[in-house]
A and B are shown apart, each in its own frame.
Chain A
Amino acid sequence: GDSVTQMEGPVTLSEEAFLTINCTYTATGYPSLFWYVQYPGEGLQLLLKATKADDKGSNKGFEATYRKETTSFHLEKGSVQVSDSAVYFCALSDQYDYKLSFGAGTTVTVRA
Chain B
Amino acid sequence: DTGVSQDPRHKITKRGQNVTFRCDPISEHNRLYWYRQTLGQGPEFLTYFQNEAQLEKSRLLSDRFSAERPKGSFSTLEIQRTEQGDSAMYLCASSFSDSPLHFGNGTRLTVT
Contact = CB atoms under 8 A, between A and B. Distances in A.
Interface in A10-35: 34
Contact of A100 (B4, B40, B45): B45
Contact of A89 (B42, B45, B55): B42
A46 B42 contact: no
A101 interface: yes
A85 to B, nearest CB: 17
B42 A104 contact: yes
A97 B55 CA distance: 9
Nearest to B3: A43
Contacts of A97: 48, 55-56
8 contacts: A34-B100, A45-B103, A89-B43, A91-B42, A97-B48, A97-B55, A102-B44, A105-B40
Interface of B: 4, 31, 33, 35, 40-45, 48, 55-56, 91, 93, 95, 97-98, 100-106
